[in-house]
Amino acid sequence: MRVCVLMGSPRLNGNTAELCKPFINELQSHQAEVEYIPLHDKKIASCIGCYNCQNVEGEYGCVQKDDMQSMVEKILWADVLVFATPIYTWQATPTIKAVMDRMYGFNKFYGSAPRTSLNQNQAYALIATCGYDLDYGAGLLDEGIRRWCTHSGLDYLGMYAVRDEDNLVSFQTPEAISGAKQFAQTILEHHKT
């Protein structure tokens, strides 16, 4: 099983990174291959809505040349793509949101290219950290990814989120660690089916 974790926090050793550690360790302890991609230093422009990607058959097709181009192969390699992000104003961080928008070129639904999805057998999941009650803080992003998966015909494996109540310590509790490991088990179980 192959899992790609897109880590959207600008802080390499912050809350979201801390929550990813037991999740990734659990996956790897069950022989899953994990590609962990911190986005903090990536240059990823916003989608410009040109639709060029929709007219390129069988490949990504985005006209913008930046770090997104080098990530496409790693993203498409994965059986499961995990978006890991702190919540900023009820949304993913700007860098991970730019990646999401630029993934528009994976679905060939709106142009002259034959209708297909480059990642048609992939599943998505979300790991989030936030400062509010989980549904209030992370619920909008969770619902957005759920709808994206429905629209794209992909499986959504859900969200694991932890509230920041005591800074980094909140993500080092036995409950937070256990929850991250259980979420990894959910990912592993999905792959078996």
Q: What is the pLDDT of residue 193?
A: 67
Q: What is the pLDDT of residue 165?
A: 86
Q: Cα–Cα distance between 72 and 106 in angstroms, integer?
A: 9
Domain residues for the domain of 134 are 2-192
Rounded to whole angstroms, what are the CA distances from 22 to 26, 65, 75?
Answer: 6, 34, 21
61 or 171, which is more confident? Answer: 61
The string of pLDDT tens digits covering residues 46-100 is 999 999 999 999 999 999 999 999 999 999 999 999 999 999 999 999 999 999 9
Count CB atoms within 10 A of the CB of residue 96.
Answer: 23
> Which pTM value belongs to this model?
0.96
Q: What is the pLDDT of residue 166?
A: 81
Number of domains, the chain: 1
- Output the average pLDDT for the chain: 95
- CATH code at position 150: 3.40.50.360
User: What percentage of residues in the chain have a pLDDT greater than 90?
Assistant: 93
Q: Mean pLDDT throughout 132-158? A: 96
